[in-house]
Structure 1
Amino acid sequence: MKAVITHRFLPKRLLSLALGSPLGQGAQVNDVRVPSITDNEVLVKVHAVALNPIDFKDIDFISPRNSAIGCDYAGEVASVGKISGQRWKVGDRIAGFVHGGLYPDVGSFAEYLKVDGDLAWKVPAEITPGEAASYGVPAATAMLGLSYLDIGWVDIKNGRSSAQGDQPTILIYSGGSNVGLFAIQLAKRAGYKVVATASPRSFDLAKRYGADAVYDYRTSASIGDIKKDYPNITRALDCFSEGTSAAFCADVLREGKVVTLLDQGKPKKANVTYTFLMVYTAFGRKFQMLAPLGPVFPVKPADRKAISQFYGNLSTLLSLGVVRPPPITAIKGGFSEIFEGLETLRKGEGRGTKLVVEFE
């Protein structure tokens, strides 16, 4: 089969990282073996992929040489293992995400892909492949972030209305991002009032997905405005996690916890803690980023449980209209279109939409 595979050695990746821009193209389409599956895995014929910033960062800086690239996918079950076959059958429509960019045989930018059978979801007939692929890394990250904030799966699954008691408030920084849009919807389902930050051009978008109030993250005055309007916020999910975003969240909180998607260091405000999440911890393998130099991440069974529960019930949430996909831009094509889309993301373009490639 054909797949996107990295070819840079570590020194060139480190030099690219130091320069802040890639030195040439760090991946190419190679002919590789179709991956073999274990009893717990499913082999997927890939029909669509969604593009994430981590994909080009893997190519440019992070991924070891000969790693398969790509995380988000939608497709059709091609074969099943002995255990995964209890849930899946050949021909089922399937979607989810994988830990692309680290292993030679795991990456969604390929004709075939192996996935863990319990970390994927069955796609209803009315959902297009491009839409299904958008429920990958961003949706899983949102779910995991809320679980780190002690927002219970039971409330998300069953729904919780404000009539069931006091309605707590959560701050979602970068509410117009793909992760933010999913987090807004899931938090609303759990019965939370959602205060979001976004750029002014994304205010309406965040509100359409359920945000009760939206503030401009670009001005520090918004911190005081939020504290005045919502003085009792104790939970924040930082979906941007760069620059001063985590400090912004901490300043808003009276006390409590900020969950970030990148390591923002130790908290600088009393009674506020930072927790850093890495969504790949759901896959049950200890791993290291930018080996042998980067941080090591342990196995976290609770993270796997959170994502497995979410995907196991996602079709039901979709039927209830609880979790809509972000606005998507679907492109018909193949590997060339994937590289073009990644270049769009690399340039900081394509904001306000999720780029997906539907294979022809």
Structure 2
Amino acid sequence: MKAVIINEYGGKDQLKEVEIEKPKPKKNQVVVKAEATSINPIDWKLREGYLKEMLDWEFPIILGWDVAGVIEEVGDGVSNWQVGDRVFARPATTRFGTYAEYTAVDANLLSFIPDNLTAKEAAAVPLAGLTAWQSLFTNAKLKKGEKVLIHGGAGGVGTFAIQLAKHVGAYVYTTASAHNHELVKSLGVDEVIDYKNEDFTQVLSEVDVVFDTIGGEVQSSSYQVLKKGAGRLVTIVGQPDEEEATRYGVKAYGVWLEPDGSQLKELASLIEESQVRVVIDKTFSFGEKGLRDAHAESETGHASGKIVIEF
């Protein structure tokens, strides 16, 4: 099968298309024939070597942690999935990722693809959707009637976070550049702050939850707008400073995604009911050139929604 691998850390020119052996399903696994995958910042951060201490893997490494397609083969112990089922998943975090024509996936991490979703759209959901879900619900425990500030609402994770927060009945603020205001409003945002021309710390106060997808100065400043004693900050960019959180009298959580098939099924149901929609920025074709171009696009940090790879 064709796969795009890296044999050493470095720039996007390290992404190389090769022929490798098709995976065989182990016990409790299926092999999915990929129709689409997607790009996430973890892909190029790992490619550059930024995560090598956390994920100390041998080369070659196949990047990619989203897959949508059709089950090609079923391993021993799998009874609830069959060959031909349309599925999507955020597979386990291993060095055998989804930049490949076939991917082995643990059966408990799979979800059905809703009938109103193409494989291309489905591939955009798992990692970003689950990240938003676990940040807002598992960690921040966002509830109906609470106020949440989502930084970077037009990004891949942000577009899901806005819709999930609205779904539970929260009042949603987001930061976005002017050209993305229409997009985030269409997703249900109550108030949008133009981060290029407005300082959110001057506009907001007494916020229950801040969801940080930016890091750095944005993360540090966010403590100022949280409700003392009850505010929660969740970030997907590094670990928050506990001393800083304590000083402001709030809780802070760093989120590292755990693949979860049952949560993905809940997301799929919301999509099926048209409660959540998928926002795709650009689509590239699978192969060395397509993946290099997609990485370049992701590294700009300005994608509105998700970047998808079609096979």
Give 1:99 deviation, angstroms.
4.5
Match of 1:28 among 6, 16, 20: 16
- Does the residue aligned with 2:204 lie in a helix, a strand or coil? helix
What residue in structure 1 maps to residue 211 of structure 2?
237
User: Is the aligned partner of 1:329 residue 2:282?
Assistant: yes
- Does the residue aligned with 1:197 lie in a helix, a strand or coil? strand
User: Is the aligned partner of 1:75 residue 2:50?
Assistant: no
**Amino acid paired to 2:47:** I
- Checking the alignment, whether the CA contact within 8 Å between 2:72 and 2:83 is kept in structure 1 is yes
What residue in structure 2 maps to residue 184 of structure 1?
162
- Checking the alignment, whether the CA contact within 8 Å between 1:257 and 1:272 is kept in structure 2 is yes
Give 1:330 deviation, angstroms.
2.6
Match of 2:241 among 265, 273, 278: 265
In 1, Cα distance between equivalents of 2:36 and 2:199:
42
Give 1:197 deviation, angstroms.
1.4
In 2, Cα distance between equivalents of 1:117 and 1:3:
22
- Give 1:70-219 correspondences, 5 Å limit: 70-83=64-77, 85-99=78-92, 102-103=94-95, 106-146=96-136, 147-151=138-142, 167-218=145-196
**Amino acid paired to 2:134:** L
1:334–1:29 Cα change, 3 Å: closer
What residue in structure 1 maps to residue 261 of structure 2?
308
1:118–1:130 Cα change, 3 Å: same
In 1, Cα distance between equivalents of 2:134 and 2:223:
20
Aligned residues: 299
What residue in structure 2 maps to residue 53 of structure 1?
41
Give 1:325 deviation, angstroms.
0.4
User: Is the aligned partner of 1:7 residue 2:1?
Assistant: no
Structure 1 vs Structure 2: percent identity of aligned residues? 28
- Checking the alignment, whether the CA contact within 8 Å between 1:26 and 1:60 is kept in structure 2 is no
In 2, Cα distance between equivalents of 1:173 and 1:329:
21
- Does the residue aligned with 1:338 lie in a helix, a strand or coil? helix
**Amino acid paired to 1:169:** K
1:270–1:313 Cα change, 3 Å: closer
- Relative to the length of structure 2, the TM-score reads 0.88
**Amino acid paired to 1:215:** I
CA RMSD of aligned residues (A): 2.2
Give 1:219 deviation, angstroms.
5.3
Give 1:350 deviation, angstroms.
5.6
What residue in structure 1 maps to residue 252 of structure 2?
274
Give deviations 1:321-343, integer Å, cap 9, x for gaps.
11100134233454431222112
**Amino acid paired to 1:81:** G
Gaps of 5+ in 2: none
- Does the residue aligned with 2:216 lie in a helix, a strand or coil? coil
Give 1:87 deviation, angstroms.
1.9
